[in-house]
Amino acid sequence: MAGKVFFSVSMSLDGFSAPESMEGIRATPEQREQDPRLERWMAQWMELQAWIFPQRFFRENLNLGEGGEEGRDNDIARETFERTGASVMGMRMFDLGERAWPEEAPFHTPVFVVTHQQRVPWERPGGTTFHFVNDGIHSALRQARQVAGDRDVRIAGGSETILAHLNAGLVDEFSIALSPVLFGAGTRLFDGVDASRVALEPVRSEPSSRVTHLTYAVHPR
Amino acid sequence: MAGKVFFSVSMSLDGFSAPESMEGIRATPEQREQDPRLERWMAQWMELQAWIFPQRFFRENLNLGEGGEEGRDNDIARETFERTGASVMGMRMFDLGERAWPEEAPFHTPVFVVTHQQRVPWERPGGTTFHFVNDGIHSALRQARQVAGDRDVRIAGGSETILAHLNAGLVDEFSIALSPVLFGAGTRLFDGVDASRVALEPVRSEPSSRVTHLTYAVHPR
């Protein structure tokens, strides 16, 4: 039996899944000192994701060290990882991640990167292999489904890639960790959603001490 | 002891508290037939507010008839009403309400309408009196606090009036009924929020079968 296609992201209460555009923002210490936008970007990003950083699973998976919280937030982070048999992501997310992930990238499954760039598969220690797909999201998703088997396919991000799948009717379900923060500006998760085609059915709403975990099934209208 | 200043609204998952602007949309049956935008506006509004229409308290308070649901959604609707000793609203909300509320307007307390229009107080059966305040939100809120006594002051809406109070640091707490719907376009509740000044503290997150009720305390940054 084929798994589901889902996404799972953190979102600010006012609907942003990332601070202002990251175009042109670079992350070396020197660049950071030169560009005050990066300081602000990082501060907002940390607030948005504040719930996940202390979690034991997150720390282990990114090799950040032992220990960490082990409550419901941790279970949810772990469950999201364990259900995922393959991921699809956009090139911008890959570009950022390539600079930020540890050598042992945190996916431990095949990842299909939708891009115009031609590049041979990039195999990382720990089981993550990045495949670069040049013929669009349907092709990337088909390949991801094949390797995922019974497990689910995660549309990892960014929000443009998530929205492309949502509007194309390719998403079965999604989860949002709703963070207690207002951004005012940035990248809106649902910007450009085709509301005339996407209907939501509430599946689960689970408060933790840090965020509210919301899960919806997606149906065509 | 003085009460709190709060607002309580329904919001779509993508952050909208109302469908597209209501400017120029009129609500008589003839106008409705002539303007397809109104049909769409009403359909979206009904989806956003779907959780409250079946509630016993809501039906009683708007004289829509006997009966209705009596679960947690109903309790929350009733509690929101009972804590409110006075309301503040913008002129656009009043204009719409004036055409839509029953003769016995559903506030049953003084309501302070912020407007440039000069008008004598308008007393309705059932205890609602609309006072028209020409010297700004601080004055309206001061008057509302005075008559509310120990009870709370509700910033009723619309979202522009709510945001003016939020950005001015005048809101202590707010509640959102997060509806399982995406709008894609419309009036964003937090559009223009001064995120550098407003910090949120989660107070309560309570799922019902229809929505998730979220409550946050507001602190200055």
Min distance B6 CA to chain A CA atoms (Å): 17
Confidence of residue B65 (pLDDT cuts 50, 70, 90): confident
Compute CA distances A111 → A85, A132, A186, B12, whole Å. Answer: 9, 9, 26, 32
Contact B135, B117 (CB under 8 A): no
Share of chain B above pLDDT 90, in %: 83
Give the span between the Cα atoms of B114 and B128, in whole angstroms.
16
Confidence of residue B42 (pLDDT cuts 50, 70, 90): confident
Q: Is A212 on the interface with B (CB under 8 A)?
A: yes
- ipTM above threshold 0.85: yes
Q: How many CB atoms lie within 10 A of CB B167?
A: 16
Instruction: Tell me which residue in B181, B200, B212 faces A212 most closely, judged by beta carbons.
Output: B212
- Residues of chain B with C-beta less than 8 angstroms from the C-beta of A202: 180, 207, 209-212
Res B40: pLDDT: 82
Amino acid identity of A128? T
Q: Is A168 on the interface with B (CB under 8 A)?
A: no
**Best CA proximity match to A17, nearest among A53, A52, A57, A49:** A49
Q: Is B113 on the interface with A (CB under 8 A)?
A: no
Please indicate whether, in this complex, the C-beta atoms of B195 and A189 are within 8 angstroms of each other.
no
Instruction: Tell me which residue in A176, A204, A212 faces B214 most closely, judged by beta carbons.
Output: A212
Contact A21, A38 (CB under 8 A): no
Sign of CA dihedral B177, B183, B184, B190: negative
Residue A9 contacts by C-beta under 8 Å, 6 or more apart in sequence? A17, A157, A159, A162, A174, A175, A176, A177, A189
- Residues of chain B with C-beta less than 8 angstroms from the C-beta of A48: none
- Residues of chain B with C-beta less than 8 angstroms from the C-beta of A13: 15, 176, 190, 200, 214, 216
Contact B91, B68 (CB under 8 A): no
Parallel/antiparallel/unpaired status of strands B152-157 and B84-90 = parallel
Please indicate whether, in this complex, the C-beta atoms of A195 and B182 are within 8 angstroms of each other.
yes
Min distance A23 CA to chain B CA atoms (Å): 21
Compute CA distances B108 → A183, B5, B125, B129, whole Å. Answer: 36, 18, 9, 8
Of all residues in chain B, the one with the smallest CA distance to A217 is: B180
| Mean pLDDT of chain B, nearest integer | 93
Contact B165, B155 (CB under 8 A): yes
Give the span between the Cα atoms of A182 and B189, in whole angstroms.
11
Q: Is B58 on the interface with A (CB under 8 A)?
A: no
A60: enclosing H helix or E strand:
helix A56-61
Please indicate whether, in this complex, the C-beta atoms of A14 and B193 are within 8 angstroms of each other.
yes
Q: For residues B169-185, give the mean pLDDT.
A: 97
Contact A159, A187 (CB under 8 A): yes
Amino acid identity of B170? L
Amino acid identity of B127? G
Res A23: pLDDT: 64
Q: How many CB atoms lie within 10 A of CB A31?
A: 11
pTM assigned to the model: 0.94
Q: Strand, helix or coil at B160? A: helix
pLDDT for residue B126 is more than 90: yes
pLDDT for residue B26 is more than 90: no
Q: How many CB atoms lie within 10 A of CB B101?
A: 16
Min distance A219 CA to chain B CA atoms (Å): 11
pLDDT for residue B78 is more than 80: yes
Give the span between the Cα atoms of A65 and A67, in whole angstroms.
7
Q: Is B146 on the interface with A (CB under 8 A)?
A: no
Q: Is A206 on the interface with B (CB under 8 A)?
A: yes
pLDDT for residue A2 is more than 80: no
Q: Across-strand partners of A176?
A: A9, A214
* B residues 11..50 contacting A (CB < 8 A): 13-15
Q: Would you give the DSSP letter of residue A152? A: E
Contact B86, B109 (CB under 8 A): yes
Widest pairwise Cα distance in chain A: 52
